[in-house]
Chain A
Amino acid sequence: MEQAKYIGKRLVELFLTLLVVSFLTFAAFSIIPGDTASVMLGPNATAEQLSALRSQLGLDLPMSVRYLEWLKGAFTGDLGNSYAYSQPVISLITDRLPVTIGMSILSLLMVLLISYPMAILSGRRPGSLSDNTLSVFGHVLFALPPFVLSMLIITLASAAFGIYSVGRYVKPSSDFFGYLGCLLLPSFCIALPKIAMTFKFLRASIIEEKASDYVRTSKSHGLSDVSIMFRHILPNSTVSTITVISLVLSDILGGSLIVEQVFNLPGLGRLLLAAISRRDFPLLSGMVFYLALITVLLYFAADIVSALIDPRMRNNREGTL
């Protein structure tokens, strides 16, 4: 009952957030200086041509009508045609989605698989040699911008060892493992700084949990360190780290936009840059909205998951959303 109430409250917030996000997206592209129709037709267009194009694009309608139309389109997957490509916005986006989503998922897996062992090793004995080494290592990783890291790794992998060729991309439908292979290095570059971030929070949280009473009690009951760590400390630390992980996910999405540019992969990043340079606003607003939508849903999922794990979250902790 309490859980249902909590989820209901979160759902209302989710709805409000989506409304604000969609309005911000729409408003940002409506207050742009310059007339889209005259940009599209060039300086020699006549007044009739301009007004004809405006009514064709729906630019002559009042803003509130256009917002509702746009909102309807956004949720039914019909955001009109891109100015530059003359293709539906939605199909342009879904074409590029496998690269960006694949990279994000791979990066997230790497973050989890690497930061957890690091944090356990480090938080087990704070101040020890392994803790200090890992902490310094984490600081350095954090300061490396993903695109610099990508350039270094490309140089190493392709020039020095000849095991990677930049810009190679295989569609997942034709060769799934080839596709994963192409995304492995770029995902690693996105993941490394985020590993440092997750590691830092998880380590701090493990150290905090270790000092708590229930750990001392378990110890006096004769539980081994290993079972205290995995059965008690880790689940508790995970709850406080979930918020961080959801923030990491949105960073990963943003990071992949840049890194796929370095690796020359046909993902959303390249589409975004093309849309920006050609001032293709239907495409831009669509991409902005859908990327934000993914992030909102991820935050929502993080809140629900932490509420399911930890009943305290339902009552006295503010969620991410």
Chain B
Amino acid sequence: MRTSLQKKTRIYMAVGFSLLAVILVAFVISLTHLYVYDPNSTNAAAKLLPPSSDHLFGTDNLGRDVFARCMEASKYTLLVSFCGVFIAFVLGTLLGMPAGYFGGITDKFIMLISNSVMCFPGILLALVAVAVFGPSLFNVVWALGLVFAPTFARVYRTGVIGLSSKEYILHAKVLKVNPMRIMLLHIFPNLVPQLLPAVVIGLANMTLFESGMSYLGLGVQPPHASYGKMLADAQSYMTMAPWLIVFPALLLVIYVLGLYFLSEAARLSFGGERR
């Protein structure tokens, strides 16, 4: 059974990386000298052109090149999801680690706050934060970071509680090692099996959230391209110019799917699914 598990992990990893490679190849093509369209330059003479060798993914209603816009959207998606996950991860560490380690009233208090934040449907919290403080890239990032922080806090807390009864941790405690040192040097490395899949899946989820928010007009702001906004704009040309929907949707799904497969591979490779 062990070999089949490893085989499955390898397959998942291969699929994940190849899906992400598709995005990377597309990105490299967009940087070559053969393909130099400005994602924001409009061209009245080239409205709603179907895909061709000139415009790989066709053009939109303002004559902008869809391929170039997709690449710009990928750039912002990556930026938002990586920064957002970083913020969520740091906040989650600061909240979840002490909660699990010290337990008692510290734990009760931190978990009360983090569970209360989790009670707001995630997208609602992000939308309202962005609406209230203005839709800028910076606000989108920290709002998403805030929304995702409790998830990481939870992963940490469960992991730390699980590890606390291990002998090497008890040993360190008996020797009166500084709690900071125990948490960072002894506990943190041993939580990687739980944290890595959570980070990768967090990237995927944050991408989905960001696209939903920009679909509603509250994510990355125009004139910058974003997948959600491109799709929202494309809705009026659904039957006339299906390529406006097909390509951005496809790239978005490929990216999320790639991350998802990678997170599954990470989970399985650390023995996440015992049979």
Contacts and interface: CB of A to CB of B under 8 A. Distances in A.
Interface of A: 13, 16-17, 20-21, 24, 28-29, 32-33, 126-127, 139-140, 142-148, 151-152, 154-155, 159, 204, 207-208, 211, 250-251, 253-255, 257-258, 261-262, 272-273, 276-277, 279, 284, 287-288, 291-292, 295-296, 299, 320-321
Contacts of A126: 275
A211 B238 CA distance: 50
B239 A155 contact: yes
Interface string B110-137: 0011011101111111011101110000
Contacts of A16: 112
B260 A17 contact: no
Contacts of A254: 121-124
Interface stretch (B34-42, B169-177, B188-196, B204-212): B204-212
Contacts of B238: 151, 154-155, 159
B245 interface: yes
Given A139-B264, A258-B123, A296-B119, A145 B216 contact: no
A201 to B, nearest CB: 12
B23 interface: no
A321 B115 contact: yes
B21 to A, nearest CB: 16
B216 A28 contact: no
Contacts of B242: 155
B249 interface: yes
Contact size range, B: 35 or more
A287 B131 CA distance: 14
Nearest to B245: A151
Contacts, number: 130
Interface of B: 4, 112-113, 115-117, 119-125, 127-129, 131-133, 204, 208, 211-212, 215-218, 228, 231, 235, 238-239, 242, 245, 249, 252-253, 256-257, 260-261, 264, 273-275
Nearest to B250: A148
B243 to A, nearest CB: 13
Contacts of A147: 211-212, 215, 228, 231
Contacts of B115: 17, 320-321
B128 A288 contact: yes
A284 B218 CA distance: 15
22 contacts: A16-B112, A17-B115, A17-B119, A20-B113, A21-B120, A24-B120, A139-B257, A139-B260, A142-B260, A143-B253, A143-B256, A151-B231, A151-B235, A154-B238, A155-B239, A155-B245, A251-B122, A254-B124, A257-B124, A258-B123, A279-B131, A320-B115
A276 B128 contact: yes
Q: Which 6 A-B pairs have the closest CB atoms?
A: A254-B121, A276-B131, A20-B116, A143-B257, A254-B123, A143-B256
A24 B116 contact: yes
Of listed A32, A204, A272, A277, residue having the most chain B CB within 10 A:
A272
